[in-house]
Chains A and B, each alone.
Chain A
Amino acid sequence: MNLPELGVGITYFSRVEPLLESHPHLFHVLEIEPQTLWYRRAEGEFRIDAETLQRLKAFPCRKTLHGIGFPVGGVRPPDRLQIPLLQTMAAELDAPWISEHLSFNEAAGPEGIYKTGFLLPPRQTQVGVAAAAASIRHMAAELPVPFAVETGVNYLRPRPEELPDGAFVAAVVEAADCGLLLDLHNIWTNQRNGRQAVGDFLDQLPLERVWEVHLAGGSEYEGYWLDSHSGAMPEELIELALQVVPRLPNLKALIFELFPPYLIKVGYATVRKQLEALHRVWEQRGRPATAGSYPAAAAQPERKYSTNPTAQPEEASPEEWENTLGALVVGRQPTGLLAAELAGDPGVSIVKDLLAEFRASMTVSVLKLTGRYLMLGLGRPEFKALLADYWKTAPPQLFSSDEAEGFAQFLIRLELELPHLYEVLAFERAVMQTLLDGEARVAPFSCDPLPLLRALGEGRLPEMILPGEYEIEVTPENAAGQGLSSLVGVQT
């Protein structure tokens, strides 16, 4: 396939822009995660943040798209509602290819299909290969540019009836005839957590299909190495990349990933150094590969097993696998042999913890002041217990606005006795809804709201609240005086 060579870059988020402007030579390419530029305004209606899209177009470097909302490793076809937006963004940004995850994020339960809130590993059997390949072909047929899939993280222990990780990926991409996004931090993480060795994984891949490589930093938790995108790359990973890149004849892009909030901790200088390291790796492409084994990542002491000792080689279907694993990670209690086996896998508990952190983060991203009031007024453990109680009643949502609105409705039903809590909540819901639909709203208060909101904005409870009749009119203009008409609407 004749794809353009894009070079070195980073996954885009707004706060990285100062670095793009101060060090443009470090960034040949920006990888855009399209769904992070979308609002979901109503059921079935997505809109693109046109202002950000225009800003991205203005950066002189190339752009590529990396989906995070329609993984293609499962039995369910990708969401058709997202396809027109992907087509729009690919055209607007002149993206030469689009990639997505070889994972799944939906499962079916008694009430229907729901989101799992976390990218989960697909069923690694021959039937699973066929299911994933069908999903990839379905997606690729809708896209205006070539399609690649990313090698994922798997926190579960290996199972005896599974295809090895590398063999599974290889079989899928050959059957689907697609490209490969090789995430070296993911497979390095898998090795550290007791799954297939990196060298064995790579030896099983059709390396000529690798168009793109991802690199990132991680962190430790409960004896596991996490794919946290939390900062600097481990030295071992850079060494691995230096050895692998010469073996990738069709490599077109090398991308560093950072989860945006971690920028506060690591700082711009660290990000700049990661990009400089990526340039050193990039220079290795086309050079003769060095002989010898890949550097081994030390497994954690707790990860000495090689396979799940209790797993039965019975053939659970991909659908059963997805429904069972999905139910477990969202806190349900599925029954059956597979459910019993998976429930005993410590990796499931890790995913449940990560999903809890993810859902809590989505909620407080939107209901920031309400969350602070609950933390300060009830205490942190009680706030966490409230969130956990809510999660028992509703599955995860893909968009933060939906996750926050679900929790808001749950809070309203609880009728908690914190002074003015529900007024703060109504105000934040009004703000969110006005941002989404551009309609002005009025939030009433039975006290002077400004000292209350100011205190919560500063992370403290107010010293004094004066009663009175007040209301805040939330208007649709943003700070720049532009309404939300700047959103690009795509009819779906």
Chain B
Amino acid sequence: MTHEFSSKGSRLDPQAASRLAGRPVRIVMPAAVAFDLDRFQSAVANLAERLGCKPCLSGAACIFLMENEFVVNPAGEIEAGGVMFLEG
């Protein structure tokens, strides 16, 4: 039984097969890999940049907008600018 979620590091617990009977299947996943389960590779690549303080900005942060557009059209080109959180 094989689970391959990411080529970057997740794996089945080596003893998982022996625990299938009545026990949960355990998948081991490094946090940095788990934090990046994302086909939309945003321009914010650094972990601290995502978890910490956002950069200096007195205008429109566009990360929410980009997420929204990615969900609407995962295969399409990401367009940014002009549309805001409160836009319909």
A contact residues vs B (CB 8 Å cutoff) = 11, 13-15, 33, 35-40, 49, 52, 66, 68-69, 101, 118-119, 152-153, 186, 218-221, 226-231, 257, 259-265, 353-354, 356-358, 360-366, 368-369, 371-372, 375-376, 380-381, 384, 398-401, 427, 431-432, 434-436, 442, 444, 449-450, 453-454, 456-460, 468-479
Contacts and interface: CB of A to CB of B under 8 A. Distances in A.
B56 A11 contact: yes
Given A186-B58, A432-B51, A473-B26, A261 B86 contact: no
B14 interface: no
Contact of A431 (B34, B61, B86): B34
Interface string B1-32: 00101001100010000000001111111111
Contacts of B85: 353, 356-357, 360, 384
If over half of B's interface residues share one DSSP class (helix, strand or loop), that class is named, otherwise mixed; here it is: loop
Nearest to B57: A259
18 contacts: A13-B43, A14-B44, A226-B59, A228-B60, A230-B59, A260-B43, A264-B66, A265-B80, A354-B61, A357-B85, A362-B61, A365-B54, A401-B52, A456-B37, A469-B25, A476-B31, A479-B9, A479-B32
A261 B60 contact: no
The 3 closest A-B pairs by CB, nearest first: A228-B59, A478-B32, A459-B74
A98 B5 CA distance: 44
Interface residues of B, number: 62
A434 B9 CA distance: 16
A357 B49 contact: no
B46 A401 contact: no
B31 A475 contact: yes
B40 to A, nearest CB: 7
Contact of B32 (A220, A358, A435): A435
Contacts of A365: 44, 50-51, 54, 63
A485 B82 CA distance: 41
A364 B63 contact: yes
A185 B48 CA distance: 27
A263 B43 contact: yes
Contact of A362 (B35, B54, B65): B54
Nearest to B26: A471
Interface string B53-87: 11111111111111110110010001111101110
A354 B59 contact: yes
Contact of B5 (A218, A453, A479): A453
Given A353-B84, A459-B70, A479-B9, A431 B48 contact: no
